[in-house]
Structure 1
Amino acid sequence: MKRCFDLILALIAAFILLIPIVFVAMCVKLTSKGPIIYWSDRIGRYNKIFKMPKFRTMKINTPAIATHLLPDPKLFLTPIGSFLRRSSLDELLQLWSIIRGDMSFVGPRPALFNQDDLIILRTENGVDRLLPGLTGWAQINGRDELPIPEKVKLDVEYLQRRSFFLDVKIIFMTFLKVIRRDGVAH
């Protein structure tokens, strides 16, 4: 049922958001050199790596590490990168990953391929069995501000409590957080 819900909702969202997606793509292209889409190597279900698309918010040749590990992340942002991140518009292309079945709407956010500490903790706690999500329980309970052990604790809580109704609640709460820009670091 979850896969069917994800697929139908992603197709509807892609259709509704087609014009904003094209507009953001044009803005990325016009404001910085390089490709419009950044294909990030992410950890999926059972720790398999998949390519997750995002609108590019960082300058080309930025190291492929978590943003908070960069010496001064602001130096690496494109002219509209900060806005795209704060508004979560850089995430729109992840609908593709949901349609492909690499992601779900709700699940733990996919770790970067080199976030070994997060990957190890999730694997030890069985969270690696879940499909990563566009949003998740940790996202609505802290987002970028949470330390890794706290994120994993919330991921485990989601693993244990997951249900269709919890997913709907998380999607609704995510919408509110995005509108309010709660918990966004950059």
Structure 2
Amino acid sequence: MTRIFDVIFSVLGLVVASPVLLFIYVAGLFDTGSPLFKQERVGRHKKPFVLVKFRTMTVGTASVATHLAASASVTRMGAFLRRTKLDELPQLWNVLKGEMSLVGPRPNLFNQSELIVEREALGVYTVRPGITGLAQVAGIDMSTPALLAETDAKMIRELSLPMYFKLIFQTIAGKGSGDRVVH
């Protein structure tokens, strides 16, 4: 039901935001020398896919969940991109390719075994992961695996077209804290 909106909005988003994407890319060349960040994540049915984001941390930062990363590794530009959620824009490409949805559980890393167990038990991997979701607008991140999995499962059970749009608009309006980094 939401796939058609995913395709329409990801195409529109990529076209409309292309000047912003280009600007952030060029600024990222000066910030880190490598503006795009690619990382293997757990997708639908636990199949791996490569998530694309704008880089917010220094090159060479350990591949761990954001809440485990040191705040010193976040660049000044990266802090701005995280706060405004602009670092997520390249994921529109993942949505267009069908690896992700605009709304769904945030895709985790394969080394987050506790979260994988919790999500698997609740059937969270039966849907495409998303750029945003109920947990994100509620400020729940991957540092609380059981709560995150329960919130994801609740969203999957209750997801309707109005809720899909509500979560997108809440994210655009800045609701939620984004990925937490230890200070």
Instruction: Give the structure-2-normalised TM-score.
Output: 0.92
Deviation at 1:111, TM superposition (A): 0.7
Question: 1:131-155: per-residue Cα shift (whole Å, max 9, x none)?
Answer: 1001001111114386221111111
Identity of aligned residues (%): 36
Alpha-carbon distance in structure 2 between the residues aligned to 1:134 and 1:46: 17
1:62 corresponds to which letter in structure 2?
Answer: T
- RMSD between aligned alpha carbons? 1.5
Q: Which residue of 1 is the match for residue 147 of structure 2?
A: 150
SS where residue 174 of structure 2 aligns?
helix
The count of residues paired between Structure 1 and Structure 2 equals 180
Question: 1:69-128: per-residue Cα shift (whole Å, max 9, x none)?
Answer: 13xx22212231111111111111000000000000100011112111111111111111
CA contact (8 A) 1:108 1:132 kept: yes
- Counterparts in 2 of 1:145 and 1:183: CA distance versus 1, 3 Å: farther
1:67 corresponds to which letter in structure 2?
Answer: T
2:18 corresponds to which letter in structure 1?
Answer: L
Aligned 1:82-93 pairs, distance under 5 A = 82-93=79-90
Q: Is residue 19 of structure 1 aligned with residue 19 of structure 2?
A: yes
Aligned 1:65-80 pairs, distance under 5 A = 65-70=64-69, 73-80=70-77
1:36 corresponds to which letter in structure 2?
Answer: P
Aligned 1:1-150 pairs, distance under 5 A = 1-33=1-33, 35-70=34-69, 73-144=70-141, 147-150=144-147
Alpha-carbon distance in structure 2 between the residues aligned to 1:7 and 1:161: 22
Deviation at 1:31, TM superposition (A): 1.8
- Counterparts in 2 of 1:38 and 1:145: CA distance versus 1, 3 Å: closer
Aligned 1:173-184 pairs, distance under 5 A = 173-177=170-174, 182-184=176-178
Alpha-carbon distance in structure 1 between the residues aligned to 2:141 and 2:126: 23
Worse-superposed segment, 162-171 or 11-20 = 162-171
Question: 1:31-64: per-residue Cα shift (whole Å, max 9, x none)?
Answer: 223x221111111001111000011111111110
Deviation at 1:163, TM superposition (A): 1.4
Alpha-carbon distance in structure 2 between the residues aligned to 1:135 and 1:26: 25
Deviation at 1:169, TM superposition (A): 1.3
Structure 1 gaps of 5+ residues are none
Question: 1:1-59: per-residue Cα shift (whole Å, max 9, x none)?
Answer: 321110011101111100000000011101223x2211111110011110000111111
